[in-house]
Amino acid sequence: MRLATNNMFDASIATLQRRQQEMQEAQQRLTSGKRVEKASDDPTGAARAERARTSIGQVDASQRALEASRNSMTLAESALGDANELMQQIRETLVAAGNASYSDPERKGLATKIQGLRDQLLAIANRTDGAGGYLFSGQGTSGTPFLDNPVQRDANGARIGGGVGFEGISGSVTTGNLENYPLSVDGRAAWEQARSGNGTFETGPAPNALTGKASTGYIDSGRVTDPALVTGDSYSIVISGTAPSQTYTVFNETQGHVPVASDNYSGGNTIKFDGMAMTVAGTPSDGDTFSVKPSTADLKLFEVLDRTIESLKTTGRTAPEITQTNLMNLRDVDAVMGNLANVRSQVGEQMNNLDGSESRLQTLKVYNKAEQSAAEDLDMTQGISDFQNQQTGYDAALKTYSMVQRMSLFQYINS
């Protein structure tokens, strides 16, 4: 086979160009520190690196969502703490209102104080998160989550509507793609869903069974003595006779006014039945009646405060009426305070969860960065060695080309 000089020239140039290209690519890898710069360099490694970059992007997005959640939860926890301090002041004021020596004008002054604290609590319930939203808006609202509507009354002056109401949607807004992080607190759960009574049952006065008038005795909040015996039924307690020869009878109203307990009554007597115990005190009259019904999870903080303020402003009440309403108001204030404390505890737990999630995200990000590095980064020692090899090959190609150039007929004649 005949090999022309021109063919040898072309082969030498092609080799020289290829060596130069390989050396340039090796130099580029050294400069960038990347073994895989485009998919054609290593399709498998490029795909592995892309998956790692996608995961890192998800982690970064979740970290931003986590910080937004932490900001909201910190503000919500602070707001609930402020609310608890105001509620404590209200409770202290209410305890003072139970002083038998206080006059109606003095109690009215205490009502005014509670009214001011109540308005501060409404401002806390409508506190913003600093980003255009509301801390207690639940799943969202078009305006402030709590609106103070005018009170509505019937012909007898009894309240039938109005007051502060939750205008949002129950629940909470969450964000994040790897984990869900809350951005708001359920306002209804925090401010309107405390359990009534003592959490298991709720006691209260009822009209006298004989005269229809208010009771001259009063009943406390009661307590559970045996949870296994609590039925969840409604009861009535009726005092019969005149002191000192009085008796009490407990009727199960859910079962159709069926008597379940009866005994002699004396002042401050503890009445026990179906795993529950309560004390009727004062000087109850013949026919005085008290109700016992299951607790419900619908006790609203602002409704409790409005009822408390209204009762303190009411004049001409008897001592038993003052004592009874004060006991009930204190009981309900304690219930809504306890509910706020529970929600605050839940928010605190959310903040703890955020700390744990942040640690997991950091670990995941480090892992994916390591994956990306393993897939596309250059081993510098190997890269330098490859570049030196390519440089040596390029030098050899240059020398070969120079030798081939001297093999032409003209070079031979001239020599």
Where exactly are the structural domains of the chain?
Answer: 5-33+379-414, 62-196+299-377, 200-295
Mean pLDDT across 107-129: 95
**Among 160-164, 308-312, 404-408, which stretch is predicted with the lowest mean pLDDT?**
404-408
Residue 25 is predicted with a pLDDT of 65
Q: Is the pLDDT of residue 330 over 90?
A: yes
Q: Is the pLDDT of residue 58 over 80?
A: yes
**Among 143-157, 249-263, 389-403, which stretch is predicted with the lowest mean pLDDT?**
389-403
Q: Is 133 left (phi over 0), alpha (psi -120 to 50) or beta?
A: beta
Are the C-beta atoms of residues 141 and 167 closer than 8 Å to each other?
A: yes
Q: Tokens 């360099």 correspond to what residue?
A: 41
Q: Facing residues of 258 across strands? A: 252
Residue 95 is predicted with a pLDDT of 92
**Among 64-73, 275-284, 369-378, 404-413, which stretch is predicted with the lowest mean pLDDT?**
404-413
Q: Is the pLDDT of residue 241 over 50?
A: yes
Q: Is the pLDDT of residue 187 over 90?
A: yes
Residue 114 is predicted with a pLDDT of 96
Q: How far is CA 364 from the centre of its chain?
A: 25
Q: 3-class DSSP state for residue 196?
A: coil
pTM of the model: 0.79
Of all residues in the chain, the percent with pLDDT exceeding 70 is: 77
Residue 51 is predicted with a pLDDT of 86
Name the band, by pLDDT with cuts 50, 70 and 90, for residue 373: low
Q: Is the pLDDT of residue 55 over 70?
A: yes
**Among 131-140, 200-209, 252-261, 393-402, which stretch is predicted with the lowest mean pLDDT?**
393-402
Residue 1 is predicted with a pLDDT of 46
Mean pLDDT across 90-111: 91
Name the band, by pLDDT with cuts 50, 70 and 90, for residue 149: confident
Q: 3-class DSSP state for residue 109?
A: helix
Backbone angles phi, psi at 249, to 5 degrees: -135, 135
Are the C-beta atoms of residues 223 and 276 closer than 8 Å to each other?
A: yes
Candidate ranges 80-89, 161-170, 386-395; pick with highest mean pLDDT: 80-89
Q: Is the pLDDT of residue 207 over 90?
A: yes
Of all residues in the chain, the percent with pLDDT exceeding 90 is: 52
More confident residue, 287 or 46: 287
**Among 171-175, 236-240, 358-362, 407-411, which stretch is predicted with the lowest mean pLDDT?**
407-411
CATH of domain 62-196+299-377: 1.20.1330.10
Q: Is the pLDDT of residue 405 over 80?
A: no
Name the band, by pLDDT with cuts 50, 70 and 90, for residue 9: low
What span, in angstroms and rounded, lies between the C-alpha atoms of 250 and 239?
A: 9
Mean pLDDT across 91-98: 92
The b-or-e profile of 211-241 (16+ CB within 10 A means b, else e) is eeebbbbbbbbbeeeeeeeebebbbbbbbbe
Residue 76 is predicted with a pLDDT of 94
Angle, vertex CA 90, rays to CA 84 and CA 93, nearest 5: 145
Mean pLDDT across 20-38: 63
Closest to 313 (Cα-Cα) out of 97, 134, 37, 159: 97
Q: Is the pLDDT of residue 300 over 80?
A: yes
Average pLDDT across the chain, whole number: 85
Angle, vertex CA 106, rays to CA 279 and CA 123, nearest 5: 85
Residue 382 is predicted with a pLDDT of 64
**Among 24-28, 129-133, 355-359, which stretch is predicted with the lowest mean pLDDT?**
24-28
Cis ω before 244 (30° cut-off from 0): yes
DSSP 8-state symbol, 314: -
What span, in angstroms and rounded, lies between the C-alpha atoms of 46 and 248?
A: 85
Residue 44 is predicted with a pLDDT of 78
